[in-house]
Structure 1
Amino acid sequence: MNIVVVGAGHGGTTIAADLKLKGHKVNLLKTSKSLHNEHFNFLKEHNGEVNIIENDKTSSVQIDLITTDIELALKDTELVIVYVQTNFHEQIINRLLPYLNPNHIVLLEPGYLSTAYFLKHSPNFEFTVVEAQSSPIDCRIITPGKVKVLFKNVRNPVAIYQNEVKDLKLVKSKLDSLDYNFEYLETIIEAALHNPNLIVHTIGGIMSMPRIEFTKGDYWMYKEVFTPHVWNMVESLDDEKMNVLEAIGANRVPYVDACKNRNAVDLSINSKEAFLHYAKNSSPHGPVRADSRFITEDVPEGLVLLESLGSTLGIKTPTCTGLINIANASLSIDFRESGRTVDRLGLENIKKIIGTRSVLV
């Protein structure tokens, strides 16, 4: 396929290189100058060359186009993969909309219900939107022009949204050609709320602040933070998330079961043990600063969303609310002010996404 990856950070660059290795034509679009400028400039100066390390093997690929020009990047493409922080999804969606055509597939990695932004700004769009629970690849930029694959998911749940259902078989065929073992969920909101970052990034990031500051960033969150009492918080927040999912008629799937489904080859193993195995053997270093995107992204885009949905449905979310309050106080930021709420996404848009199962009023 002809693919454009929007976002030239860790995930965007690695996915672009991985898809190029698989034989696709790939453009890489950078949408801001806020991060990874040295890396992006290196790619431009070296004609899109990326070295990708996986299982101690290094492969070199040439990305077809490295650009900041949205119109040029999207020209003649079929699939648009969005790999920018979800804080900026509404802004990026507005910039992409003029260049999207009815045949485009837009894959959000991940989405956090950003399909609602497409409906908000282009209610009758004819293209297809797909939201993923999480990225298929854990990865890092090692040095400019060089990325490392830390872990690849075994399975990758996604959900498809179309204003008018048309040729889903073709859409799935194109998505399956990426070779990421996609599984197809019934509704976008399942992909949105099963985003693992809503649970582990927020609790992990907040509870890691003292260690990050004490060690000056010499820290491995997944290996260190999830002690038995912190795990009680994980289960409490997860229960609130499942209460919201259950209220809208979606499956009540615990975090650890969703994690095992994504990460484990053998689904007969204990779900919590699958998470702990990942944490010990495959998880990345960091975060290295207290105000990491684990908090500045996943609190306003994940926890605020969950709290707002709970409030709209009349479901109490005290653990979620408490975590937001702690994050607000710790970083002196009101994350609700900029966060992803039902009002900001649009109640009617969310009801349309949920469809006949909607109990939102």
Structure 2
Amino acid sequence: MNITVIGCGHGGQALAAQLSMSGHRVTIYADENHPGYLDNIANNTITIEGRISGAAIIHCMTKSIEAALKDAEIIYITLPTHAHISQFKKMVPYLKSGQIVLTLAGNFSSIYFYRILKEAEKEKDVYLADLASLPYACRAIEAGRVNIIDIKKSMDIASIPSKNIGFIIDRIRDSFPTKLTERSNIIELGLNITSAISHPTVMLLNAGRIGHGEEEFYFYREGITHEISHVVEAVDCDRRKIALEYGFELHSYLEIMESFYSIKYNSYYDFFTQSPIHNRLKLCPRSMNERYISQDVPYVINQWHGLGLHVGYDSGVMRSIIELSSLLNKTNYYNERNVSVDLFGGMNKSDIGNFLFNGYA
């Protein structure tokens, strides 16, 4: 199968390498202004180590989006969320009927992609889906060398429109590195993005330590106290309350982690301080502007909070995280995209459900 991976960072390299080692014809694309590791990968070879190991020869590595999409059957977007929409707009002129575009982590991006396709009169030609995360916990050691700490046992997926999900799963099941779990729609999937449950809270409550930029520490086992774990749990509880307003009964963060890694803990504190996957590396951000805040707050927490407001529920803990993060980084994360305002204005819960399942009329 011809597969293109958009993005050449930690996850893009890992995914491209494993797909190539599984016998697929893989192309990696990186934007010329944000090449990631692309320019420094020697001989089109990516070596992976850790949970799985081996060396993969990548069929094509390019900065031409036209070349990257020309023969692709499946396209994975592995970019930071802030780059999703701008990159997708570059892709649209070269997308062809029958291609499948999957975004990991999706962070509600496919809903916006669908509107862009509608404007280009391609919404019935191209298939779109979001995945909840990368299938790995991984870190690039250097260009062409990636450490896969662990592989998740299952991964949530949802499409827009939702009625296409069966076709999409059938097409990618044999090539995707882990089991796929279907979610009802993009909203249910987006409310299951686990990074936003832990990252922003732990960052904010360690802001003094991280802000100095001097001391690298184990982000989870040293960054989480019993008190901080209570705030993480509060975010998780409000996420699940908002989901119930939309008819979804979601698992807790601890239950999701058990499904990912087959590890079980009785409390949030025990999980974060004892999980071998989360504590093998320090995983400590170098500044308060890194993606644990700059991605997870505007593109996930802000979306959750907005979805809550849409049905009359104002999460105080989420609002506090957004406002404190904005103050610390001298920005306004409320001004970033907000799916409930941008796309669901004037819709009630029934209208939203019908749109997400059937798409544009």
TM-score, structure 2 normalization: 0.88
Deviations 1:138-167 (A, max 9, x none): 11111222111112111112123337x458
Deviations 1:33-76 (A, max 9, x none): 3463xx32112xx3311121124x75221111111111100111
Deviations 1:92-112 (A, max 9, x none): 221222222231111110111
RMSD over aligned Cα, in angstroms?
Answer: 2.6
Q: Distance in 2 between matches of 1:303 and 1:337?
A: 13
> 2:67: which partner in 1?
72
Residues 203, 292 of structure 2: 8 Å contact kept: yes
Seen in structure 2, the aligned counterparts of structure 1 residues 217 and 172 have a Cα distance that, compared at 3 Å, is farther
> 1:302: which partner in 2?
300
Deviates more, 1:108-117 or 1:123-132: 123-132
Deviates more, 1:166-175 or 1:98-107: 166-175
> 1:138: which partner in 2?
137
Q: Does 1:23 align with 2:18?
A: no
> 2:124: which partner in 1?
125
Q: Distance in 2 between matches of 1:162 and 1:126?
A: 12
Residue 213 of structure 1, CA deviation = 3.5
Q: Secondary structure at the match of 1:222?
A: coil
Deviates more, 1:210-219 or 1:177-186: 210-219
Runs of at least 5 residues in structure 2 that lack an aligned partner in the other structure: none
Give the counterpart letter for 1:206 in structure 2: L
Q: Secondary structure at the match of 1:106?
A: strand
Runs of at least 5 residues in structure 1 that lack an aligned partner in the other structure: none
Q: 1:1-361 alignment to 2 at 5 Å?
A: 1-34=1-34, 36=36, 39-43=37-41, 46-55=42-51, 58-123=53-118, 124-162=123-161, 165=163, 168-169=166-167, 171-214=169-212, 216-264=214-262, 270=266, 272=268, 273=270, 276-278=274-276, 281-282=279-280, 284-347=282-345, 354-355=353-354
Q: Distance in 1 between matches of 2:165 and 2:289?
A: 44
Give the counterpart letter for 2:22 in structure 1: K
Q: Distance in 1 between matches of 2:14 and 2:337?
A: 28
Residues 204, 225 of structure 1: 8 Å contact kept: yes
Q: Distance in 2 between matches of 1:240 and 1:327?
A: 18
Residues 149, 277 of structure 2: 8 Å contact kept: no
* Identity rate, percent: 23
Residue 252 of structure 1, CA deviation = 3.0
Residue 84 of structure 1, CA deviation = 0.6
Residues 219, 286 of structure 1: 8 Å contact kept: yes
Aligned length: 350
Residue 342 of structure 1, CA deviation = 2.3
TM-score, structure 1 normalization: 0.88
Residues 140, 148 of structure 1: 8 Å contact kept: yes
